[in-house]
Each structure stands twice: as structure tokens, then as C-alpha cells.
């Protein structure tokens, strides 16, 4: 089932008076419950593309439909509401709120974005804490846990709202290889358990191989689309 579709996506940035093309006529579709990676060197447009998919930015040209919604048509409030209901985010620097405990960080989107009742909140959080192996750390603050644990909390926070799509921009960049691999495995496990689509960007070749579909970006264009078990030029 198709979750998102990009048609002739272009994104230009103005640097002074010069327009820089970050994405150049991208066309692709992504199905639900897929595990996808965008790879490419620094400056290839991975983050720009993830920002567009995550409704954090709008394309200069073309159409981008996520979960049946043209994301370019959303205003600030609609964009926030759409993200809150459909998209989970995992950041390179974890971006946990330092004043909230592990439990409260996972609870935050349920409480402040979706207004989920207390009982249901607790059930969902405990289930995810268990799933990411952080049950015993629930009362700790982010500065009391390791980087790998922080990213596990971030995964739980991204999944707690039952989003249709989780976007992870370089989720393993600040982790050692072993921890990075564990985080990717965790994301995969979560995909299997919750049937959520995961899209992550990385330039770590060892991690890339974990994705089921790999898009390679170079200079704002998709140069390659690789599916496990096959290799297609994009």
C-alpha cells in the first residue's frame, strides 16, 4: 500500500542572491511498513528530502503526498497537527528534553500533542519502554543515560503516537558501531511489531545494508535504487 509519493520534487535554496538546487526532480514512491534508507555523501540532499517528507519544509516545485495529504498545502498549524498525528522523528543528537525523565520524554507527544487519556498513555509507554529495553531507566533524566540509551528513548518517543511514518536523520551518527547496529535492529523490530514505515538517512555503509530499500542520492538526484535481492538504477 502506497504511503507516500514524490513527483518531480525540486528544492532550491537561496544563498545570497544565488539559487542552489538541493533536490532536482525526484520521483519515487514508498509503501507502508517499509524500511528504507537514503544514502549519499554530505550535501547530497538527504536531510533536505527528509525535511520535506516530514512537513518541516516545502518543495519549490513538484508534488509530495504523504498519507494522502499534499504536504505543500499545509500551513504552520496544519503542518504541526499532521506531524503530530502521522510522523515520528528520530534525531542525530537524540534531542530529548533535558528537564523530562525517560518516561516523561516518551509521554510528551501523547500529553502535549495528542491529549491521550492517562491510562492509555501509561499502557503505551510501558509497552514501548519494555520493547526498547529501557524499563529500568524510566525515572532517569537524559544526562543520566548513555547515547545508545538516549536513542532508544528517542525511538520509543517517535513510535508512541502510533505514527504511519518514522523519519530518522542520521540516527546512528553519534553512536559507536555496536550501538548503532543495535539501534537499527531496534528500529527494524519496531517496524515488524508496529507495522510503521521507517525512513532513515545515513552515510555509514555498514548500517546501510540493514535497509530493505536503499536510495542513493548524489547532487540532489536519486542515482540508484537498490532493493535487497536486486539492484535497479534510479
Partner 1 sequence: MGNLFKIAIRNLMRYKRRTTLTASLVAIGVIFVLIFVGVTGSFKTMMTGQMTDSMLGHIQVHRRGYIASIDNLPLTMNMKPQAVKKLEKTFQGMPDIESYSLRIKFGGIFSSFTETTNIRLNGVYPEMEMKTLPLFASRITTGEKTIKKGEIVIPELLSRGMKVNVGDTIVVIANNKDGSVNGKQLRVSGIIESITGPGGRDGYVHIEDAMEILRMEEPEISEIAIRLKDFGKLHAVYDSLTAMLAGEQNNQGKPAFEVHTWEDLTPFYNIIRMIDIMTIFIKIMLIAIVLISVMNVMIMAVYERIREIGTIAAIGTMPGRILSMFVIEGFLLGILGAVAGNVMGIGIIYILKAVKITFAFGRQTGLVLSPTVALQDIAMISLIVIVVAVLGSLQPAFKASRMEPIKALRHV
Q: Which residues bind partner 1 (CB under 8 A)?
A: 51, 54, 56-57, 76-77, 80-85, 87-89, 91, 93, 95, 97-100, 108-109, 111-114, 157, 161
Q: And the C-alpha cell for 165? A: 511514518
Cα gap 128→133, rounded to integer Å? 8
Beta carbon nearer to partner 1, 220 or 226: 220
Choice between 100 and 182, CB closer to partner 1: 100
Give buried/exposed letters for 104-142 (b at 16+ CB in 10 A, else e).
bbbbebbeeeeebeeeebeebbeebbebbebeebbeebb
Q: At closest approach, how far in Å is the CB of 178 from partner 1?
A: 26
H-helix or E-strand spanning residue 169: strand 165-169
Between 98 and 117, whose beta carbon lies closer to partner 1? 98
Q: Which one, 114 or 234, has the nearer CB to partner 1?
A: 114
Query: Residue 169 CB, nearest distance to partner 1 (Å)?
Result: 9
CB of 68 vs partner 1, minimal distance in Å? 18
CB of 22 to partner 1, least distance (A): 12
Backbone angles phi, psi at 58, to 5 degrees: -120, 145
Residues 6+ apart with CB under 8 A from 170: 47, 92, 200, 201, 202, 203
Is the Cβ–Cβ distance between 79 and 55 less than 8 Å? yes
Between 83 and 152, name the residue whose CB sits nearer to partner 1: 83
| SS3 assignment, position 72 | helix
State the minimum distance, in angstroms, from the CB of residue 97 to partner 1: 6
Amino acid at each position: 500500500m502506497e504511503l507516500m509519493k514524490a513527483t518531480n520534487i525540486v528544492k532550491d535554496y537561496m544563498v545570497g542572491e544565488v539559487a542552489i538546487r538541493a533536490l532536482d526532480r525526484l520521483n519515487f514512491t514508498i509503501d507502508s511498513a517499509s524500511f528504507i534508507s537514503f544514502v549519499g555523501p554530505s550535501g547530497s540532499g538527504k536531510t533536505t528530502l527528509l525535511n520535506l517528507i516530514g512537513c518541516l519544509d516545502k518543495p519549490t516545485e513538484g508534488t509530495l503526498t504523504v498519507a494522502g495529504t499534499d504536504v505543500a498545502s499545509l500551513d504552520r498549524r496544519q503542518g504541526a497537527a499532521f506531524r503530530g498525528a502521522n510522523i515520528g522523528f528520530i534525531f542525530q543528537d537524540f534531542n530529548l528534553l533535558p528537564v523530562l525523565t525517560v518516561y516523561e520524554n516518551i509521554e510528551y507527544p501523547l500529553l502535549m500533542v495528542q491529549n491521550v487519556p492517562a491510562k492509555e498513555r501509561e499502557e503505551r509507554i510501558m509497552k514501548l519502554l519494555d520493547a526498547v529495553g529501557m524499563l529500568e531507566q524510566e525515572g532517569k533524566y537524559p544526562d543520566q543515560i548513555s547515547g545508545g540509551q538516549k536513542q532508544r528513548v528517542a525511538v520509543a518517543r517517535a513510535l508512541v503516537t502510533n505514527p504511519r511514518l518514522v523519519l530518522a536523520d542520521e540516527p546512528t551518527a553519534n553512536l559507536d558501531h555496536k550501538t548503532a547496529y543495535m539501534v537499527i535492529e531496534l528500529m527494524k523490530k519496531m517496524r515488524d511489531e508496529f507495522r510503521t514505515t521507517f525512513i532513515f538517512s545515513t552515510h555509514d555503509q555498514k548500517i546501510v545494508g540493514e535497509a530493505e530499500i536503499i536510495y542513493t542520492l548524489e547532487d540532489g538526484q536519486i542515482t540508484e535504487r537498490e532493493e535487497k535481492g536486486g539492484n535497479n538504477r534510479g
